[in-house]
Amino acid sequence: MSTDITQTAHYQTIENRAEARACSFTDFIEKLSALNRAPTFEEINEWMREVEMSAAEVQPHRGFKSATYARHRVFRNDYAEVLLLCWRPGQRTPIHDHNGSFGAVRVCEGVMWETIFSLDDEGRLRYETVREWHPADVTGADVPDIHQIGNPDVSGLDLVTLHLYAPPLGVLNTYRVGSAEIGHYTVDEFMDGAGI
């Protein structure tokens, strides 16, 4: 599969990682703990470019499931939430949005495919483009956003991704291509990997 880096109005490719200042994972969590307001889209993307996680820091949150990807909460307060997601080949999210939260994803290991969608004039979901992300790549989702991410079954590799949402996720909307129908998932439904 070729990588399509076409930009849309709602998604931002984060490049120039060499220009980013490194930030330890401990400092990253401390920065989030000290927040007294919701961070901006630009801030969460900058912080995700800067953060560096060692294998030892990932290990306590690294765990896989056979039937679905696994979500592990690393941090949450009123302003932001950090999750580590672990994916076996072929596991992916439903098509979803973040319902008012900014999101940024950093690939820690493996290959992530991201498919981007939009709504047509009749409110039906349509496909726009697909992109491929590799270790240290960061992708950000502004509001509104509709996408699907996952580990391609052809990768043959486990995928581990770090996610930062601001504000923390609540009820998310789910979609089907060609349909105007919108479903909903709550935090309790998706935290164990059973849904979003």
For helices 25-33 and 41-50, give the axis angle rounded to 10 degrees.
Answer: 160
- The predicted-structure confidence for 79-96, as pLDDT tens digits, reads as follows 999 999 999 999 998 898
The answer to whether 130 and 1 are in contact (CB under 8 A) is yes
**CATH code, residues 12-190:** 2.60.120.10
Rounded-to-integer distance, Cα 79 and Cα 102, Å: 11
Is a pLDDT exceeding 70 seen at residue 21? no
Could you tell me the pTM of the whole model?
0.83
Per-residue pLDDT, 188: 59
